[in-house]
Chain A
């Protein structure tokens, strides 16, 4: 029976899943490698600091994103107050600001003689304001930057859960004589728990894999440890070993997220069961407080970094003039277009292969390989280089062939391949959720009407999934525009994007020069977020 299932679709899906699984397998296999002396030094010195810092960062970010995300979602889902319809979508614009750019803005504003100082000086005249201006650097800065750029995950998922929450459930609370507070704590919040946990898990994974902002603030975490082990100490095996520890941690979170997402399905009512929720009109002080909270979050998470970057771009026009905007834009879009085409087409093949063969083995392999999204970009890049080096040294040289390193390392091709591995789950899961809406009997009806598998794919699936495809393409675009560590490590020499240009200037303490590329990055990402906001808020 097993061999009967093997066909071109099966083989293609198997191969795709295997490619995506390479970094995970490489990291796991590194556990058996010997590491250099640095591992002993690290164990005696910084390892526990790395772990401690990672945990503090994680707890801080989770607390803050939970408070901001759930409160915003609750306010816009259950109440009517001025600007509520604006805030519903405006709050997701925070997705356009990567944590590292937020970090630049935070520093630029609050640093000695920074923007805050200039504002105070212009209003109140010359004085020593520096000692009165709070400094958000180090761990505090990292927690704030990451929280304000990631709370959107909690907001979007919790809001969706509140949105689909049955009106009957709320009426039931009223019927039982619950106060608003008791209804919220005993009914609304517990039923949205899986969505909140799912959002927090995504935040946790992104936090642990953050490189840009922690390295900017000089906070040593496991991720920066991996980078240091590889770049500063040239110990690839140790970098992989550290990745292994981080991966175990992240896989735990991934399982938690997966588990809670499965539960979340129980909270999706049927079409007929969804009754339009009655929004409560807020007036007076309560209305003002709700408005102020959402306005503050919107300002701090989006307007603040945009204005800061805009201010510096205008203040230092020389950097804008020096910037080769066309080159940066074309480089970024080249990566976006090639990656989107690769990701969407291969995800289609893999999903369709899974659907056609219904093989359990393939299903398990696909699930395993999509867990790649839980792996920090930096680990992916390091693991990919490790694998290519191993393959080149052992397999290619064994056959006496020419080295392939230059094809895969420091090339656009290699960069796109790692993007592919990093964002495969985004594309694959996106298509999968589209496919879940197509009953198997639809395919079978097509076969029975004389359609071949390929014709069913092109005539039935493609037209049906074109919206999903577009949405996935845009989500990939947003992610790639913001992506930093993979691009930084894998890009060809002198090949820059908005993200890498901003990072390089910032790492040279030229924050004012980082402003223009950061601003363009935010503008482009915002544009794509806005055209997909309807879908993001819906699902």
Chain B
């Protein structure tokens, strides 16, 4: 039987009587993997981290870390004996110690272990130099979050749990910290579970992503697959990355849509000819072509820096998103007609 670094086996995570994530199973295969859990607010993501850390107990299932059962119906290892570190989303710094003393609390743990992170290096990468001597009430929530992250990183845990670690951090620092955080986690092989509601953060940091919706772990897969091959309508809606339009399967590689005509591509799942399906159209699936005879009405245009996302209205009032590179020669205004290149070819066809 294959041994996993962390195994969550059929565990129900209970945040409250009404708010549960039921029968969750997933594994972290290797030491040093980074897992991201995505889901809307209040769904129970934090509860999952708290339970793995040992701050909540479980009634069913089993959690195994490094071949040791740490939580089950009859086993419970106290949080202080798990060597798991959790960086909380809110300020959890000790209020009567300054920032550097707080961080040193982390460094003190497991200080005999080899491959320790350098405290100064962590302080520098998290931009904490100027607040080292300040007390928690004297710093901003973003700074507190970074200090808390530093403390957790330096504690050199077997498993690091990060709860929305960058949620309060300024946008200008965020991307830089994301890059450096990933580098540190990977270089030091720190196995990590990150909870976030930012899908881009999850896709960048995670070697695997879990999507939690409606009290269930809906999908657990590589970020690419989660994005391109969502396994349910709920995941599509959560990622908000496309539109489902009605279509009929007309052959091995073709579909027919009332609004878009013939669509070709590779089905990721087999559907019998003649089936009525809902086809996922993602913004990058359609191409703009001013010369095309398939014209749709522009109802909105969002500038996203590197590209525009046009929202187009079909004759049957469906709203379809389309990417256009922002260097495109001209822009289309609302109410104008917008051409879609034909024939439509989609690399992988996702239907439900």
Contacts and interface: CB of A to CB of B under 8 A. Distances in A.
Contacts of B96: 463-464
A445 B83 contact: no
Which of A442, A450, A452, A463 counts the most chain B CB atoms within 10 A? A450
Report the interface size class on chain B. 20 to 34
A448 B95 contact: no
From A445, A446, A448, residue with most partner B Cβ within 10 Å: A448
Interface in A410-469: 437-439, 441-442, 444-452, 460, 463-464
B184 interface: no
B105 interface: yes
Contacts of B148: 445
A4 interface: yes
A512 to B, nearest CB: 51
B170 interface: no
B60 to A, nearest CB: 13
B257 interface: no
Interface residues of A, number: 19
A441 B90 contact: yes
B83 A450 contact: yes
B53 A448 contact: yes
B90 A448 contact: no
A493 B134 CA distance: 57
Nearest to B79: A447
B155 interface: yes
Interface string B64-100: 0000000000001011111111101011111110000
Nearest to A452: B80
B55 interface: yes
B80 A444 contact: no
Contact of A447 (B55, B106, B108): B55
Contact of A444 (B59, B79, B83, B93): B79
A210 B57 CA distance: 50
A442 B80 contact: no
B174 interface: no
Contacts of A437: 95
Contacts of B110: 450
B103 to A, nearest CB: 11
B301 interface: no
A458 B337 CA distance: 71
A441 to B, nearest CB: 4
25 contacts: A1-B57, A4-B57, A4-B76, A439-B91, A439-B92, A441-B88, A441-B91, A442-B92, A442-B93, A442-B95, A444-B50, A445-B86, A445-B93, A445-B94, A446-B94, A447-B54, A447-B78, A447-B80, A448-B82, A448-B85, A449-B80, A449-B105, A449-B109, A450-B109, A464-B94
Given A447-B80, A448-B82, A448-B85, 12 more contacts: A1-B57, A1-B59, A437-B95, A444-B79, A444-B86, A447-B78, A448-B86, A448-B152, A449-B105, A449-B151, A450-B155, A452-B78
